[in-house]
Chains A and B, each alone.
Chain A
């Protein structure tokens, strides 16, 4: 049996079967946005693509929660490296961070992490995180860098995308803990996605889409 952060293949397959078709046809699949529909699909938010305008562009692929902090750190470090090397500003850089597969709890908010016991569930993969704190440990910082957490990275211009397929595991957690049906669970889970994070049809879609826009790919976990 795989431990936290190591998604069992059976679970992945089950989510695919149970979730992809449902999610792909679900109304309101745009997370926390009013009317940001830019793509050809009315169901998914493609507006982030208009923000990929930097001279230097990179997509950071984070498929594991173990190593997720490293992934975030690497996106911030890349910004710093390019600033040092080429004298560019944050606005000249377009980092796109794709949080997918086993890493999806990273884009849930503090309230959700506390309510669903994620700190305890993922304790073994969060061993280097500050102890005795609550909430999402990825939100504010990464390895002590206050500008490398999900929130500050977004402030610096990073685009954070989430996998709509792997998000089903979050929905599944709500269904089990709250004993509610999938639509209710999904609606609730959506309200707990971190502000600014944009759900995509899949993380793979997002990774490919970012490269369509000129982003260099980095395996960041």
Chain B
């Protein structure tokens, strides 16, 4: 898949200053503010524990395999070292062309994300309309051996999922254009479609470095 360089340019033009000014702050999240009066949520750093810590950098959608690799790491470390999965610090950093993974199935359906990125089901390898890392039920359910390979399960069991606010502007821009609404309205609407629990960061790069400063090993997974 081609890199969205033009989107990146537009993102920079539209989003950098706004993001830096804290427009992405989520009101009511006061306990989660960063240092120096920042409005960004850095509370996830206090949830890192144990000596086994990894940050998994997901820069492409790649059928969701980046997130799967993070999940596999946690499973393997748990099995090999006999550590409960919840005691392993797993940070997934969704950024750049991978940013749509941080948004709900509603966003994927409304804006035809799967078709644009030619996404395949990570289990069946067939074309899919679904966000490949989200929980699925019924006929779309993942095979039993992969049933817990989802972003929701990862977060419910102690995993941390971060998303790049710069790349997020691409999503906002898409919503603004598709729905014919202002960027401000689109920002609210897109934010509401973030998968619950995903934490926006000033940039994915910022998050990648901060995680390593807090003891995480870095792995570029997609």
The complex places the Cα of A220 from the Cα of B95 at a distance, in Å, of 11
Main secondary structure of the interface of A (DSSP, over half): mixed
**A218 interface residue (CB < 8 Å to B):** yes
Contact pattern, A 181-221, Cβ under 8 Å of B = 1, otherwise 0: 00000000000000000000000000000000000111110
By a CB distance below 8 angstroms, the chain B residues around A218 are 57, 205, 208-209, 218
A216 engages B208 (CB within 8 Å): yes
The complex places the Cα of A88 from the Cα of B195 at a distance, in Å, of 32
Most chain B CB atoms below 10 A, which of A58, A85, A143: A85
By a CB distance below 8 angstroms, the chain B residues around A74 are 203, 205
Contact of A66 among B3, B35, B59 (CB under 8 A): B3
Q: A73-B12, A84-B38, A219-B220 are in contact. Are A127 and B213 (CB under 8 A)?
A: no
**A81 interface residue (CB < 8 Å to B):** yes
B212 engages A56 (CB within 8 Å): no
Q: A84-B38, A217-B212 are in contact. Are A128 and B205 (CB under 8 A)?
A: no
Contact of A85 among B6, B35, B218 (CB under 8 A): B35
The complex places the Cα of A74 from the Cα of B96 at a distance, in Å, of 11
Contact of A143 among B3, B12, B35, B57 (CB under 8 A): B12
B5 engages A78 (CB within 8 Å): no
**B168 interface residue (CB < 8 Å to A):** no
By a CB distance below 8 angstroms, the chain A residues around B220 are 219
**A24 interface residue (CB < 8 Å to B):** no
B209 engages A78 (CB within 8 Å): yes
The complex places the Cα of A218 from the Cα of B36 at a distance, in Å, of 24
Contact pattern, A 119-144, Cβ under 8 Å of B = 1, otherwise 0: 00000000110000000000000011
By a CB distance below 8 angstroms, the chain A residues around B128 are none
B8 engages A219 (CB within 8 Å): no
How large, as a class, is the contact surface on chain A? 20 to 34
**A77 interface residue (CB < 8 Å to B):** yes
Contact pattern, A 57-70, Cβ under 8 Å of B = 1, otherwise 0: 01000000011001
Q: A127-B5, A128-B9 are in contact. Are A216 and B36 (CB under 8 A)?
A: no
**A87 interface residue (CB < 8 Å to B):** yes
Closest to A81 in B: B206
Q: A85-B34, A216-B218, A217-B212 are in contact. Are A143 and B205 (CB under 8 A)?
A: no
Contact pattern, B 179-222, Cβ under 8 Å of A = 1, otherwise 0: 00000000000000000000000110110110111000010100
Most chain B CB atoms below 10 A, which of A80, A84, A87, A127: A84
By a CB distance below 8 angstroms, the chain B residues around A70 are 3, 5, 8
B205 engages A220 (CB within 8 Å): yes
**B68 interface residue (CB < 8 Å to A):** no
B209 engages A56 (CB within 8 Å): yes
Closest to B3 in A: A67
By a CB distance below 8 angstroms, the chain A residues around B205 are 74, 77-78, 81, 218, 220
B206 to A: closest C-beta gap in Å: 4
The complex places the Cα of A217 from the Cα of B202 at a distance, in Å, of 18
* A58-B209, A70-B3 given; 8 more Cβ-contact pairs under 8 Å: A67-B3, A77-B206, A78-B206, A78-B209, A82-B206, A84-B202, A85-B34, A216-B212
Using a CB–CB distance below 8 Å, which chain B residues touch chain A?
A: 3, 5-6, 8-9, 12, 16, 20, 34-36, 38, 40, 42, 57, 59, 166, 202-203, 205-206, 208-209, 211-213, 218, 220
27 A-B pairs with C-beta separation under 8 A = A56-B213, A66-B3, A67-B5, A70-B3, A77-B206, A78-B203, A80-B20, A81-B203, A82-B209, A84-B20, A84-B202, A85-B42, A85-B206, A86-B35, A87-B35, A128-B6, A143-B8, A143-B12, A216-B209, A216-B211, A216-B213, A216-B218, A217-B212, A217-B218, A218-B208, A218-B209, A218-B218
